[in-house]
Amino acid sequence: MRFSFLLFFIAIGLSACERDIVFTLNEATPKLVVEASIENGQPPLVILSKSLPFFDTLRPSQLATSFISDAAVSVTHNGRVYPLKGYSSFAAGVPVG
């Protein structure tokens, strides 16, 4: 009898109800996104882009225009400024251009 009750409650728990949740978000102004990797013995890698809407369908043209290539980027360490060189594209992980 106890086993039947246990099975009944497990069956009820596994057949949970399902409900769609719809989010209505306000359109936000795109923000600057900075992704960087700076490690000893490796050239620094900094990618600048603009944020994209989270729930929108991503189109290749939208992705291509989200990258920022005309920024002056530098790294400062111990008071010394190191300007970084910009590249417009990568081929097999190697900067080109």
Q: Residue 36's closest CA among 65, 12, 71? A: 71
Q: Report the distance separating Cα 44 and Cα 6, nearest Å.
A: 59
Q: Which residues are registered as beta bridge partners of 67?
A: 49
> DSSP string spanning 12-53?
HHHS----------PPPPP-EEEEEE--TTS--EEEEEE---
- 93, pLDDT greater than 60: no
Q: Report the Cα–Cα distance between both ends of the chain, in Å, rounded.
A: 75
pLDDT digits (tens, 9 = 90+) for 11-54: 777 776 677 888 787 888 999 999 999 999 988 889 999 999 88
| Residue 93 DSSP class | T
